[in-house]
Amino acid sequence: MSQFIQQLNIYLKGGQVLNVPFNAEAPDKLNPQISAFLNALGDSEKASKNFLFQGQRPVLVHLPDVSAADVISLVRKEQNETAEQKEEIKG
């Protein structure tokens, strides 16, 4: 089974980088919070405000401090041990 993860990297004008991970439906479809964040950066009315990411790790970003952002899509594959592999381990 595969789990899709998207890591949003937010580069701040002060040189810091915020890394915010998100679960995703598919590697080629952005998480809705990432889309909303990128849209807020491009919106002249919202670009002077803060953006709050919701979830297990709430993150508040002051949008005027953002100099760049990118998204990395990752795939986590779970390795299931078969009965034969378990027997080989037991030896």
Residue-wise pLDDT for 26-65, tens only, equals 878 999 999 999 999 999 999 899 999 998 889 999 999 9
What amino acid is encoded at 52 in this protein? L
Q: How far apart are CA 76 and CA 3, in angstroms?
A: 5
pLDDT category at 87 given cuts 50, 70, 90 is low
Please tell me the pTM assigned to this model. Answer: 0.78
Residue 34, CA distances (Å) to 1, 8, 39, 45 in order: 24, 7, 9, 18
pLDDT category at 16 given cuts 50, 70, 90 is very high
3-state secondary structure of 46: coil
3-state secondary structure of 48: coil
